[in-house]
Amino acid sequence: MPRRKRIAVLISGRGSNLGALLRHDLAGEVVLVGSNRADAGGLALATDAGIATFTLSHRDFATREAFDAALVARLNLAAVDLVVLAGFMRILTPVFTEAFAGRLINIHPSLLPAFPGLDTHARALAEGVKLHGCTVHFVTPELDRGPIIAQAAVQVEDDDTPATLAARVLVQEHQILPWAVRLFCEDRLRIEGLRVRVLPALA
């Protein structure tokens, strides 16, 4: 029986994706939750679940690289196997992405490679797409690129606003993020270029 993986989750806000992770059997343990903002609502979710938390403010560092190096050091102290970015609103440098290459996962609220970056729901509406959704992917140095593990789509309705669309996409985020994390913890993901192969479950 392989050792259960130790997972860190990084957040910046309300932490509903963190909540979804905590509600599912991940075949691994969330052992640490970190934020760059002390007022991130999701930190309370972790505390209530008895999980260690930390805040590291990017404002205390002169450069992105210095912040990232401190973040890497904090996560390494906890000996984590996987880092999940769940609404972590920081652009990470190669100092971070290379330290956790192949074991760093992000949830993004669009069907990548469409709509990387911010304001994805408003941009999807402005472009008139009929399908929108969310993506879980391995993080590489390039923003919102990297091998895709899972995606889920929703129909765009005529009367959608960015808020209504975001709410429907969020429901899907809460499904595919725990699923992707579980696949990682079960050692079932193989990265082949930009593609991710999902290996069958062991009987």
Query: Catalytic positions, please?
Result: 108
Which of 71/172 has CB closer to ligand GRF?
172
d(CA 15, CA 21): 10
Orientation angle between helical segments 162-185 and 16-23, nearest 10 degrees: 40
Nearest distance in Å: CB 1, ligand GRF:
31
Q: How far is the CB of 120 from ligand GRF (least distance, A)?
A: 8
Separation CA 203–CA 199 (nearest Å): 12
Q: Are strands 131-138 and 104-108 parallel, antiparallel or unpaired?
A: antiparallel
The answer for residues whose C-beta is within 8 angstroms of residue 187's C-beta and 6 or more apart is 2, 199
Residue nearest ligand GRF, CB atom distance: 87
Q: Please state the three-class secondary structure of 84-138 as a single string.
A: EECCCCCCCCHHHHHHCCCCEEEEECCCCCCCCCCCHHHHHHHHCCCEEEEEEEE
- For the bound state, the minimum distance from the C-beta of residue 130 to ligand GRF, rounded and expressed in Å, comes to 20
Cα–Cα–Cα angle for 74, 10, 35, nearest 5°?
Answer: 75
Q: What minimum distance in Å lies between the beta carbon of 14 and ligand GRF?
A: 4
Nearer Cβ to ligand GRF (13/116): 13
Please, what is the minimum distance in Å from the beta carbon of residue 94 to ligand GRF?
20
- Give the residues lining the site for ligand GRF (CB under 6 A): 11, 13-17, 42, 86-87, 107-109, 170, 173
Residues 6+ apart with CB under 8 A from 168: 154
Taking the least distance from each CB to ligand GRF, the nearer of 13 and 141 is 13
Query: Is the Cβ of residue 69 or residue 165 nearer to ligand GRF in the bound state?
Result: 165
Backbone angles phi, psi at 179, to 5 degrees: -65, -45
| Pick 40 or 71: Cβ nearer ligand GRF | 40
